[in-house]
Structure 1
Amino acid sequence: MKFFIDTANLNDIKEAYDLGVLDGVTTNPSLMAKEGIKGEENIRKHYKAICDIVDNNVSAEVISTDFDSMIKEGESLAQIDDKIVVKIPMIKDGVKAIKYLTQKGIRTNCTLIFSAGQALLAAKAGASYVSPFIGRLDDIGTDGLDLIEQIVGIYQNYGFETEVLAASIRHTQHLLQCAQIGADVATCPLKVITGLLNHPLTDKGLAQFLSDYKKSQEATEQALAG
């Protein structure tokens, strides 16, 4: 499974990259605004700064919702860096834009997926990634993990190369369950990834090892002193 971090915060991206497990970044206008990044030129510079940190896969989202504008914006975003994946919404013109950009050799991430049918259309159009939002489905009483499982099964049935990018992941259990049912990618906040590090028995075991080592050193020093 690939790990993407869902943020525009450069410090979090650097920390995830230094951890050695980061495969990419997803971001959007809301996350940019959260970091105080405003204005087209500043946003483009920020995308480039992200690309300079990671090895690949930086999803940059279009703002437009009509075909011609999405194409223009998508091609412009793709020129920032070869690592850019153009993020396109799941709407009719979005599917058309995915087809067009794919034919131009530009990778795409179809976002705001909430049904298997939408994911099927995106894959047919040639999307590199589809982003089902499992947390938002959970919020309305629908099991988002069921959707991941459906999409994975459909793609396996027909050999689609589109990768399933599980988005709107809220906690480590979400992430692990997505891995169990075969999602290709999980994108989430840094705290969800670092949460995988934690287990009380690890902490207890390490404390015991260090305590035993200290006792051993003290015993050795006493023996030498005697």
Structure 2
Amino acid sequence: MPRKELNTKIFIDGGDPDETRAIIKSLGFLDGQTTNPSFVSKNPRAQEKMDRGETFTEPELLEFYKGIVQEISSLIPDGSVSIEVYADENTTAEEMLEQGRTMNSWIPNAHIKLPSSKEGIRAAEQAVKEGMRVNMTLCFSLKQAAAVYSATRGAKRGQVFISPFVGRLDDRGEDGMSFIANLLKLYKKGDGHVMVLTASVRHDAHLMEALHLGSDIITAKLETLDEWAKKGSPLPGEAYAYDPHGLKPLPYEDLDLEADWTSFDLTHPLTTQGMEKFTKDWNKLLGK
């Protein structure tokens, strides 16, 4: 597909530069990559080390992660590479910022991934003031999305991504794609500085619906993108309709994007669970 026909940016979700190379060859282009601790733990070199019964020290693991994103960055120098901070329920905004500043120095095209929690959004508020680019991950509610918008007001378009995890909403019987529709509707009231990055894309139907809705960015694993590429990278036509297969549509909330971000309820069980999983996978590499 000629890149000019596609308004949505396409990212790959993973922690293996060989997959980056593979999808660039398959698709013919790539706009970015999203990484996280779970994907780093699945990197073949990390797996080989673990299979030998070895673990990393913290400096070794950070250096390993740095090497991965630097290699990915060299493959998509004009794209974006998201690098995730370590954040459990006790990690403060200041601690996230300290990590983010270090990670931001690794490559020139970094987006620092922060959780859509109170401390994560507090960190993002300061990060954008310092000129950092951020990707607010594990977003599952419009209140979280409104808070991200409010906290990062003044940022340039492209400086802030927000990543709703549609697959994890589907897992609990809710239509994740209806959340994308609601989020895009909410953000139409704003200035466009936050770009919606549809994440946790599980299959071709998710990808096609995200294209249909006009998501700014889509990130998906190699298998999903490769399947789409082999079909000729089709776009949804006029007759296209998404089948949610009985999943419950999420209601729209008309929230005030200009409200103080701290006024929103930012709690969501999936955000907490997501942070727990990422830290567990990271700690496993450290032998904890």
| TM-score where L is the length of structure 1 | 0.84
The offset of 1:159, in angstroms, is 2.2
The answer to whether the aligner puts 1:134 opposite 2:166 as a matched pair is: yes
One-letter amino acid of the counterpart of residue 159, structure 1: D
The unaligned stretches of length 5 or more in structure 1 are 201-226
Greater Rg by CA? 1
Q: CA RMSD, aligned part only?
A: 1.5
Instruction: Determine the structure 2 residue equivalent to 1:52.
Output: 74
Instruction: Determine the structure 1 residue equivalent to 2:104.
Output: 78
Structure 1 stretches of 4+ with a deviation exceeding 2 A read: 17-21, 197-200
1:116-173 per-residue CA deviation (whole Å, 9 max, x = no partner) reads: 1111111222261000000000000000011101110111112231100000001111
User: For the Cα contact (< 8 Å) 1:6–1:187, is it kept in 2?
Assistant: yes
Instruction: Determine the structure 2 residue equivalent to 1:224.
Output: none
* Inter-partner Cα distance in structure 1 for 2:64 and 2:103: 13
Q: Report the 3-state secondary structure (helix = DSSP H, G, I; strand = E; otherwise coil) of the residue aligned with 1:157.
A: coil
One-letter amino acid of the counterpart of residue 51, structure 1: S
The answer to whether the aligner puts 1:20 opposite 2:46 as a matched pair is: no
Q: Report the 3-state secondary structure (helix = DSSP H, G, I; strand = E; otherwise coil) of the residue aligned with 1:101.
A: helix
Instruction: Determine the structure 2 residue equivalent to 1:212.
Output: none
* Inter-partner Cα distance in structure 2 for 1:155 and 1:59: 22
The offset of 1:199, in angstroms, is 4.8
Instruction: Determine the structure 2 residue equivalent to 1:95.
Output: 121
Q: Which has the higher contact order (CA 8 A, sep 6+)?
A: 2
* Identity fraction in percent: 32
User: For the Cα contact (< 8 Å) 1:131–1:167, is it kept in 2?
Assistant: yes
Instruction: Determine the structure 1 residue equivalent to 2:151.
Output: 125
* Inter-partner Cα distance in structure 1 for 2:42 and 2:231: 31
Instruction: Determine the structure 2 residue equivalent to 1:105.
Output: 131
Structure showing the higher helix proportion among its residues? 1
The offset of 1:198, in angstroms, is 4.1
Q: How do 1:1-226 residues align onto structure 2 when only pairs under 5 Å count? A: 1-18=8-25, 19-35=27-43, 36-37=45-46, 38=56, 39-55=61-77, 56-64=79-87, 65-126=91-152, 128-199=160-231
One-letter amino acid of the counterpart of residue 24, structure 1: G
The unaligned stretches of length 5 or more in structure 2 are 1-7, 47-55, 153-158, 233-288
| TM-score where L is the length of structure 2 | 0.67
